Each structure stands twice: as structure tokens, then as C-alpha cells.
Structure 1
Amino acid sequence: MQSPGQAIEDVRSESVFPLAVDLDGTLIATDLLWEGLFLLLRRNPLLMFLVPFWALNGPARLKHEIARRIELDPATLPYREEVLERLQLEQAAGRRIVLATGTPKKFADAIAEHLGLFDAVLATEGLHNLTSKNKVDALEGIYGKGGFDYLGNSRHDLAIFDAARTAIVVAPDRHAARWQVAQGCELIVTPKATWITLVRMLRVHQWLKNGLIFVPLFLAHEYFNLPAIGRCVLAFISFSAAASAIYIINDFFDLALDRQHKTKRNRPFASGMLTIPFGLACSGLLLLLSVLTATALPPLFWLVLSTYLVTTTAYSVSIKRMLLIDVLTLAGLYTIRVLAGQAATDFDPSFWLLAFSIFFFLSLALVKRYVELRSTVADAKQRIAGRGYRPEDQEVIAQAGMGAGFAAVVVLALYIDSSAVFEQYNHPYMVWPLAPLILYMIMRIWILARRDEMHDDPVVFILTDWRSQLMVGIGLALLVIAVMLP
């Protein structure tokens, strides 16, 4: 293996030729046009109606309109470490390094200033889009034909590869990959997405929440009703596909915030392991799967699914930043899953179940916000990033969350003492332990949250924590015994 000193000597002889470096997909593992578009829509969703008109006037106009309305933080972008190390080596050897990109100059200048690696910046200015042939003309106009080396990654770089003295390919798309193999030029290897990356993109673990769809079936004691079970399975698939589609879109709107989070920065899109266009295609296919699956279910399920899609999209775009409205919406989204199970099976809705669900999931939604407040560093009187809460709200959130949890237990206790239980269960006294079981779960969740030992999603915690699983298992067993025991 070469020492750093020897490597510097190896490139020193090349220093007479500047190294031009592409930005999107090369220096950073993302595309700032797509990122800027979602950042723009997050700030003002109504601008989505202007985007098609800007795009009709060419990519440079679209880039210009987006760039003049938003600011990007260059410190949070997903830089390719392999490329940065190469540029630092070239810089140490005294080579002139040029950032040559189709990104608006406003963004390119900010990135160049942040990194401190570039001697010059060539970028899109006004309506002159610095890509492909335009980039070739700009580089040859300054350094002459074949007077520069170039580092790029995509089909838009093929013309520059051909014009450069030497080409270096990094993380190539299929067009650049074919060119690299044909020419046998240098390839900088970067980490690639795996099936685990796709699973994380879909957030498969979040599908566990859709198990709530089976609750009405279970409480109706239709354990062996195969047609109803089949409809619940279809509803589960439809909701899971819809949820994953919206999670992907939500990730696009939260890219900047996720990169500032200690764990969310590793999400597939925030880290740059997957591209936004790929995510959009996946989201569209998932929505199609959700709709096609829903066609086999009663019309009322369509209404519930549509309500879920509209609400969760609104939550991703704006509601999540609204004080208290966000947690009420989250509680409602959990309850919608219960309604979906009722709609899929044509079972009559239960007032008791819906009332318990609202209070119980409101408590869990408040736990989620409480954990965020505890784990986020923010000054007093300053809102945490992307939310409507401030550090001093912790105690109020905790009190409200425990109060909502106790209210859920009170609703359950009233239900246990109602005539409905005596009519539906052969042994009603077997249902009584449910109240202390739920109370134990709620109090334990809040104690762990105060100890900073709680998962950032309490629903996922319940579904993966063995003690919570034990409480749920005991509760389900009691309900079955109360019905089945003669």
C-alpha cells in the first residue's frame, strides 16, 4: 500500500492539468435540483403549480427559480468520502481543482466555500445551464482542448469524459458505467445499495402498526371467519403499501432535518444511498399496488384509505410542525387503521373501541414528541427543528401524555363494566385484568421515556419489547378464554 507521501508524489506530475469535478451524484450522493424542489414545496406547497411552467422554459429556468427562493446548508449534504479523500490528495500535490457543475452558482459557491478544496467554480448562471456540451465549451474555453481531467458520474457527463484528457468515473449510472468499461478508465468505488437499503426505504417495521386493522375482527370474535380474515389481509397490504409510499415522500421533505439527526441521517435518501427519482418511482408503484388491492374491498374502505392518504400527506407537508395538532393527527391516523379494519369487514364500528383508541394513541404520540424534546439540543425559547415545540414544553407534554393514557384506561374500565361485555363474553370477569395490564404498559413507557430509554417510536417499542408483548399476549388470551370457555 502506498504511503500518503508517495501518493502525493504520484499525482504531482499531473498538477499542470486542472481536475474538474462534477457536483450532483459525484461530489455529493444526491441531486440538488430534486432536493431544492422538495425544500421549496415544503416551504410553500402552492408553488407546485408554478413548477411545470418553469420547467417548460428549460432546466436552467427551473434551477434559477428554485435557487432564488431557498437556502441550502452545505454542511449537511451527503458528501462522498472517497471523492473528498481524492480531492484532498490532489490539493496536497498542488493541483488546481475546479468545481464544474450544472447546479446554480449560488449553491456551488456555498459548497466550495464550505469545503475549501476548489480554486475555481463553474456553475449554472441565469438561463445558461452548465451541463453536457455547455460544460465542455466552458472548460475548453479556459483550459483548451484536452487541457483538463474530469471526475463525473452520469450520462450528462459523457461529452465531458470524451473531451477531457483523462476521465475518472465515480458511482456511475448505467450510461457512465458502460462508457467506463468500454474505455477502461479509472473508477472510484463507492458503497452500493442492498436489499436491506430497500427494506429501510419501505420502513417495513412500520407495517406492524397496520396490525390494528385486525383488531375489529378479533374483538368481534370472528376468529375463524376466513372471508373476513382474507379482507383484513388485503386491507393490511393496501395500507402497508400506501404507508410506505407516503414515508418515501415524507423522507424527501425531511432530508435537511434528517441529516441533522443522530440516527435519521442514515436513512437511505438522507445518506444518498438511494436517489430521489428512484424513490418517486417506488412511491408511485406502491400507491398503484395500494389502489389495486383496495378494489377487492368494500367501497367504505376506499373512503377510509383516501382519508388516510390525504391526512398523512398533509401531516408530512405541514401538520407535523403544528403545536398539538400534530399529535392529535397522529392519534387519528392510528385510529383510522382500526376504522379500516371495520370498513374492510363490514363490522359495525364500536364507540368504546374508538374512544379507547383515541386516548391510548394520543398518549403514545405525546411520548414520541417527548422523546424528541429530550434528545434534541435546543436553546430555551427556541423550537426544535421541524416541530412546533420548545424545550420548556417537556413537562406539559409528559403530563398530557400520562393523562391521555389514564383516560384510555378509564374508558376501558367503563367498557368492562358495561352491558356490552356481559352480552359478548361468557365469562366477563376474565376481561377485568385488561385495565391494569394497559395501565402497566402506559406507565412503564412513560418511565422509560423519562429515563431516556425509549425508542423514538413507542408503537414500534410495544411491538418489539418482550414485556409489552407479554402484556398484550396475556390480554389477548384472556379475551379468547372469556369467549371460548363454556
Structure 2
Amino acid sequence: MKDVISLLRPQQWLKNGFVLIGLIFSHGWSEPDLVRQVALGFVAFCLASSAVYVLNDYFDREADARHPTKRHRAIASGAVSLPAARMLMLGLFGGALGLPAIGGHWGVLLAVVSYLILNMAYTLHLKHKVLVDVFCIVAGFMIRLACGTYAVGIIPSRWMLLCSFMLTLFLGFAKRRAEIVSMPDTELALEGGTRIVLRHYSAQLLDNLVAITASATLLAYGLYTVDAETAAMHGTQHLVVTLPIVTFGVFRYLYLLYKGGSGEEPGRDLLADNQIRMAVLAWLVVVVLLVRT
């Protein structure tokens, strides 16, 4: 069971929090029907994302077996058999599609189907295309956001879309930067390696892309907090006081990326670092206090 749980990557379910963003920033938490639909979307995406991880590990099992750390993954190591992995995959796909279908939430179902199609294409082909690989990851986050907004009748603001887009680009390029730095040159040169696309990147290029997207993320969030529409929606002109908290969080993540050897697993890194956890908690508290007052 421990190997099966590790195969599902439950620590990565944090990424599905993007489904909840629309509900939070539209103040829709007071409407039970919206809450139920968004909660259903969140669960469906947790099942879908775990199905994608199993699919990816299934197809990458031979390359993972040659990797110094990935060889310990459940399928690559043989801890979970191939028939068991296929059965688990089918169950997860069925649950991800069945939940919204049974409930008649067709917008959520469309979002989940789009996410699964995108990630199957990513696993089978697109993850080997430079830059396209990261934009596919970003598209997955934007589909989650769409599920939590358009799919349940909430109209997202342009700032929400822009901030989410730049943040996920930043995390995607940071992930690639951490991978290329930690991977030996022999692995990068190996045909059929686990990250063929890394041969087309360089640490210098990724440093530039990380710097650009980090700056754009902070700029977009700062503009969001001082926008007149934002003030009218939330009933406060003081959301800008959260900008230093967000800035600290981004800078802390950059520190972990360049000094702490983190970045390969953003979900794990965000949960593991005490200072980032405190920054997220402080941001939530300040936002709730400002919106309520």
C-alpha cells in the first residue's frame, strides 16, 4: 500500500488548489451549490492527476530504472507490477471522469477530459519538445483554474488569469533548472534518458527564464492588488499590503532553488519549507482580515 500511495503522488495534489482560486476570489464560498461543484472538481482533478502520474511512470519505467533516484519509484523498481499499475490507472481514470458525469457537472467533466488529453499527449510526445514541455505544464494549471471558474459559472478576472499564468511559468522553468543542475552530464547525454528535453536547455537560459517569470509574477500580482476593479470586488483598497508577503515567498523559493537544491518537486518544496508555509499562512490571514473588514 505504501508503494501504491507513493505512485499516486498525494503531495502533488496541492497543485489542484488552483481549482479553488475562483471560488475564493469571487467570494463564492457562501453559495453551497458552488462550493459542492468546486469541491467535486478538486477531487476529480486529484484522481486525474494521480492517473497521469501512474501513466507517466508506466511509460517511463525503463528510463527511470537507469536513473540514480527515480529507479526507486514503485513501477521502475518492480514494487508495483505492470498489471496492478494498469488496473490502478483505469480505476483513477474512471473515478476522475465518473464523478462529474454522475453529478451532471458537464463543465467540470469537460475540464477533466481536456486535462487528461493534454497530459496523455505530454507523456507520449510533448514533454520532449523544448519550451512546449513547460507550456504544457502551465496549460494544465490553467485548465484547473478554468474548472474552478468557468465550469461552475464564475467569471475570473484578467488579473487572476495573468498572475496564475506567470506563476506557473515561473515554477515550471524553476523545475527544469533544478533538474538540469542536479542531473549528471552522462545522464543528459544518454539516449532514452528520463529527461531528453533537458539536452535542449542550458542552466544559463533557464536562469534568464526564471528571472523573467519571477519578475513578471510579482509585477502582475502588484498591479492586481492596486487595480480599481479588485478594490471594488473585495471592498478594500489595501490588498497591496500583501505584496511584501508574496515577494518574500517568491524570493524564498528562489533561495531554495539556488542554494538549497530544491525546485524539482514544487509541491513538496512548498509544503516542506517552514518559511514558505508561514508566508502562505500570513497571506491568507491578511487577505481574510482585509476582505471581511
TM-score interval, normalised by the smaller of the two chains: over 0.9
Q: Does 1:387 align with 2:178?
A: no
Counterpart of 2:51 in structure 1 is: 245
One-letter amino acid of the counterpart of residue 331, structure 1:
V
Given the alignment, which residue of 41, 51, 66 partners 1:260? Answer: 66
The whole-number CA distance in structure 2 between the counterparts of 1:425 and 1:392 is 42
The whole-number CA distance in structure 1 between the counterparts of 2:246 and 2:67 is 32
Given the alignment, which residue of 204, 218, 224 partners 1:409? Answer: 218
Counterpart of 2:116 in structure 1 is: 309
**Contact map agreement 1:366 1:400 (CA 8 A) in 2:** yes
The whole-number CA distance in structure 1 between the counterparts of 2:183 and 2:252 is 22
Q: Does 1:447 align with 2:255?
A: yes
Say which structure is richer in helix.
2
The whole-number CA distance in structure 1 between the counterparts of 2:109 and 2:270 is 29
* Count, aligned residues: 290
The whole-number CA distance in structure 1 between the counterparts of 2:117 and 2:30 is 34
Give deviations 1:112-152, integer Å, cap 9, x for gaps.
Answer: xxxxxxxxxxxxxxxxxxxxxxxxxxxxxxxxxxxxxxxxx
1:416, distance to aligned residue in structure 2 (A):
1.6
The whole-number CA distance in structure 2 between the counterparts of 1:216 and 1:392 is 34
Counterpart of 1:288 in structure 2 is: 94
Alignment of 1:459-478 (within 5 A): 459-478=267-286
Q: Does 1:479 align with 2:273?
A: no
**Contact map agreement 1:217 1:345 (CA 8 A) in 2:** no
User: Which structure has the larger Rg over C-alpha atoms?
Assistant: 1
TM-score by length of 2: 0.92
Counterpart of 1:360 in structure 2 is: 167
Counterpart of 1:340 in structure 2 is: 147
Give deviations 1:183-242, integer Å, cap 9, x for gaps.
Answer: xxxxxxxxxxxx211111211111121122111111112233222221111111111111
**Contact map agreement 2:252 2:276 (CA 8 A) in 1:** no
1:297, distance to aligned residue in structure 2 (A):
5.0
Q: Does 1:425 align with 2:234?
A: yes
**Contact map agreement 2:222 2:243 (CA 8 A) in 1:** yes
Counterpart of 1:222 in structure 2 is: 28
| SS of residue paired to 2:148 | helix
CA RMSD of aligned residues (A): 2.0
Which consecutive unaligned segments of at least 5 residues does structure 1 have? 1-194
| SS of residue paired to 1:388 | helix
**Contact map agreement 1:406 1:439 (CA 8 A) in 2:** no
| SS of residue paired to 1:285 | helix
The whole-number CA distance in structure 2 between the counterparts of 1:437 and 1:361 is 18
1:281, distance to aligned residue in structure 2 (A):
1.0
The whole-number CA distance in structure 2 between the counterparts of 1:331 and 1:391 is 19
The whole-number CA distance in structure 2 between the counterparts of 1:342 and 1:380 is 41
One-letter amino acid of the counterpart of residue 470, structure 1:
M
1:465, distance to aligned residue in structure 2 (A):
2.1
TM-score by length of 1: 0.57
Counterpart of 2:179 in structure 1 is: 372
Which consecutive unaligned segments of at least 5 residues does structure 2 have? none
| SS of residue paired to 2:127 | helix
**Contact map agreement 1:235 1:297 (CA 8 A) in 2:** no
Higher RCO (CA 8 Å, separation ≥ 6 residues):
2
Give deviations 1:405-454, integer Å, cap 9, x for gaps.
Answer: 1101111111122111220233321x113322222222222222222421
